[in-house]
A and B are shown apart, each in its own frame.
Chain A
Amino acid sequence: MIELNDDKCMHCGACVGACPANAIYLNEVILDFNDDCTDCGLCVRACPVGALSLIRTRGLKVPAATA
Chain B
Amino acid sequence: MFFKDSYDVVVVGGGPSGSTAARYAARNGANVLLVEKRQEIGSPVRCGEGVSMEIFKHVDIRPDPSWFVNQVTGARIFGPSGKFILIDAKNAGDEVGAVIERDAFDKYLATEAARDGAEIATKTSVVSLLKDGGEISGVRVRRMGEESDISARLVIGADGFESQVARWAGFNTNLKTRDTTSNLQYRMTNLDLDPRFTDFYIGSAAPGGYVWIFPKSGEVANVGIGLLLSRIKGASEAKDYLDAFIEKDERFRDASIMETVSGGVSVSAPLDKVIADRIMLVGDAARMIDPLTGGGISNGVIAGKVCGEVAAGAVKEGDCSEEYLQRYEKGWRELLEEKLYRDYMAKEKLVTLDDEALDKLIEVMSEVPLENLSTKEILTAIRTKYPELVKEFEDLI
- Taking Cβ atoms with an 8 Å cutoff, the residues of A that contact B are 10, 12-18, 20, 22, 25-28, 42, 44-50, 52-53
- The reply to whether A20 and B174 form a contact with Cβ atoms under 8 Å apart is yes
- Given known A22-B167, A46-B229, contact A14–B263 (CB-CB < 8 A): yes
- The reply to whether B229 and A49 form a contact with Cβ atoms under 8 Å apart is no
- The reply to whether A10 and B260 form a contact with Cβ atoms under 8 Å apart is yes
- The reply to whether A45 and B182 form a contact with Cβ atoms under 8 Å apart is yes
B161 at the interface (CB under 8 A from A): yes
CA distance A25 to B229 in the complex (A): 20
B18 at the interface (CB under 8 A from A): no
Point out the residues of chain B lying under 8 angstroms from A53, CB to CB: 235
8 tightest Cβ-Cβ pairs between the two chains A and B: A50-B236, A14-B264, A48-B238, A50-B235, A17-B161, A48-B184, A48-B262, A12-B262
CA distance A1 to B330 in the complex (A): 43
> Residue A45 contacts which of B164, B174, B229 (CB distance < 8 angstroms)?
B229
B239 at the interface (CB under 8 A from A): yes
- Classify chain B's interface size: 20 to 34
- The reply to whether A45 and B125 form a contact with Cβ atoms under 8 Å apart is no
CA distance A14 to B184 in the complex (A): 10
Segment 157-176 of B: residues with Cβ below 8 Å from A: 160-164, 167, 174-175
Q: Which residue of A lies closest to B176 (CB)?
A: A20
Point out the residues of chain B lying under 8 angstroms from A52, CB to CB: 235
- The reply to whether B264 and A12 form a contact with Cβ atoms under 8 Å apart is yes
B375 at the interface (CB under 8 A from A): no
CA distance A49 to B233 in the complex (A): 13
- The reply to whether A28 and B38 form a contact with Cβ atoms under 8 Å apart is yes
- Given known A49-B238, A49-B239, contact A13–B39 (CB-CB < 8 A): no
Q: Which residue of A lies closest to B233 (CB)?
A: A45
> Residue B162 contacts which of A17, A20, A42, A45 (CB distance < 8 angstroms)?
A17
Which of B175, B182, B239 has the most C-beta atoms of chain A within 10 angstroms of its own C-beta?
B182
Point out the residues of chain A lying under 8 angstroms from B183, CB to CB: 14, 48
CA distance A48 to B237 in the complex (A): 6
Point out the residues of chain A lying under 8 angstroms from B263, CB to CB: 12-14, 48
Q: Which residue of A lies closest to B174 (CB)?
A: A20
- The reply to whether A42 and B177 form a contact with Cβ atoms under 8 Å apart is yes
- The reply to whether A12 and B46 form a contact with Cβ atoms under 8 Å apart is yes
B123 at the interface (CB under 8 A from A): yes
